[in-house]
Amino acid sequence: MIRISNIRLGIKDDIDRLPYEVSKILKIKPKEIIDLNIFKESIDARRKGKIDFVYTIDLLIKNEKNVLKKAKNKKISITPDMEYKYPEPGKVPIDKRPIIVGSGPAGLFCGLILAQMGYKPLILERGEDVDNRSKTVEKFWKTGYLNIESNVQFGEGGAGTFSDGKLTTRIKDPRCRKVLKELVKAGAPEDIIYSFKPHIGTDILKNVVKNLRKKIETLGGEIVFNSKVTDFKIKDGKIFGLEVNHDEVIEGEAIVLAIGHSARDTFEVIYKRGVEIIQKPFAIGVRIEHPQAVINKAQYKEFANHKRLGAADYRLTYHASNGRSVYTFCMCPGGSVVAAASEEYRVVTNGMSEYARDKDNANSALLVSVAQEDFKSSHPLAGMYFQRKWEERAYDIGGGGYIAPAQLVGDFLKGIASSQLKDVKPSYEPGIKLTNINECLPSYVTEAMKEAITNMDKKLKGFQMEGAIMTGVETRSSSPIRITRDSNTLESTNINGLYPSGEGAGYAGGIVSAAVDGIKIAEKIISKYKC
């Protein structure tokens, strides 16, 4: 196949023009094109008064060799081989099927690859299947009743199930395409394969994870819900089994730990069992919420609300004078701020959008970096205890019932408590309490945020609008620990047979990177053991 890059269409041009643009570049007739696929689509809005869609196209044409000989254009190249290559099975006999703890992206994709290669994995998930989990989460948002085993963090699909379903990633691993293709097969929109900023939306993602589960089961794998791993059976530096729900022991010699970044009780258990853990820096802050129309106008100017553009997003960074990095994270256009607690008497916020991204508000995490020295302890779990401290503070300031403390941006910059809403109706449920955000975050975090908001407004007009809402606290941007692993085998550095994976283990930062890490673990197990 031939690849052609940097093909531009104006915002008024229909995508059906692509074959004609390709024909002009190759100097052939459109009917000579056998097949045409979009490899990548992006938006160029840098020039005033003009927005272009920029494409990279893969196509199959008649007389390919002759056309390539005549073509003298830097845009044209041979399409690289992008097909996923399964590993060769190893030679070590495996007596028990591989066990995966957790059904987030790392766990599901580890399980999928193992199942596709005939290894029939067992996946243990502490939370509920996605349908029952959705009902449990809705009940929490409406009533404040929290199920600590099944919530926004725990259950089928992991924390990403209640998010925007964003699939952007900075990693360049070729396995990313395998992840996207499997998601499409499971019901995700086809444009995630090529979109510059692909997303699925939580409404569609729920069905996607269900279909991935069904595929694993069809291939001989098994997923068991409401099955919390409560202990790890380790002897002489090797794992040989798991205790589930405090009463059942399941034996296994290849066990994948894909528990997510909020499985704090599990972190404590593996620490007690001697699994090597180290502290890891992360970031904390708030959710900041603006009218989506303000973001659309700031990003797209006169093209705001054009049907081809949809809801605008943003990504902003700033380096504060106190040395802290400040950045927006997990931006949810046309979405909601959601209650994401997984422990009692602690407030945690996150963001969520459905596929249409058609709600009134845009929201994003506004985060400030924190490092090991901020934890005031050398204990491997000190970052986790640091998170808990500020989540408890937010709960107390909110007045209980998982009501979240909130403040208008204008009042935050002035240093006064808020008492009245203005331009934005907060989307957070069970509800917010207007107060002073400074009371539930460290002073070095709020100082950096104040600087950043003013600076970010220069890049995105309206970011510091007085009536925008800041809702606290956001503490779960990434795991506070890293479960160390050997760079070659990907097993724990001191426990043979235990494979730390994904966000919770400290090796990923989003749906795609976690899924890719799960695939890597599956490949290591396959390469070692024979089915």
Domains of the chain: 2-78 (3.30.70.2700), 92-278+481-530 (3.50.50.60), 281-474 (no CATH)
Is the pLDDT at 19 greater than 80? The verdict is: yes
pLDDT for res 219: 98
- Confidence class of residue 169 from pLDDT cuts 50, 70 and 90? confident
- Confidence class of residue 67 from pLDDT cuts 50, 70 and 90? confident
82-122 pLDDT, tens digit per residue, is: 899 999 999 999 999 999 999 999 999 999 999 999 999 99
- Confidence class of residue 156 from pLDDT cuts 50, 70 and 90? very high
Distance CA 263, CA 506 (A): 12
pLDDT for res 105: 97
184: number of Cβ within 10 Å: 16
Kindly state the tokens that stand for 74.
Answer: 């830097």
Q: Are 240 and 252 in contact (CB under 8 A)?
A: yes
Looking at residues 308-315, what average pLDDT do you find?
Answer: 93
- Confidence class of residue 33 from pLDDT cuts 50, 70 and 90? very high
449-475 pLDDT, tens digit per residue, is: 999 999 999 999 999 999 999 999 999
Q: How does the average pLDDT of the chain come out, rounded?
A: 95
- Judging by beta carbons within 10 Å of its beta carbon (0-12, 13-18, 19+), is residue 132 exposed, middle or buried? middle
pLDDT for res 45: 86
Distance CA 8, CA 53 (A): 6
Is the pLDDT at 70 greater than 80? The verdict is: no
pLDDT for res 47: 85
- Judging by beta carbons within 10 Å of its beta carbon (0-12, 13-18, 19+), is residue 514 exposed, middle or buried? buried
- Confidence class of residue 72 from pLDDT cuts 50, 70 and 90? confident
pTM for the whole structure: 0.95
Is the pLDDT at 498 greater than 90? The verdict is: yes
- Percent of the chain topping pLDDT 70: 100
- Confidence class of residue 196 from pLDDT cuts 50, 70 and 90? confident
> Which carries the bigger pLDDT value, residue 32 or residue 239?
239
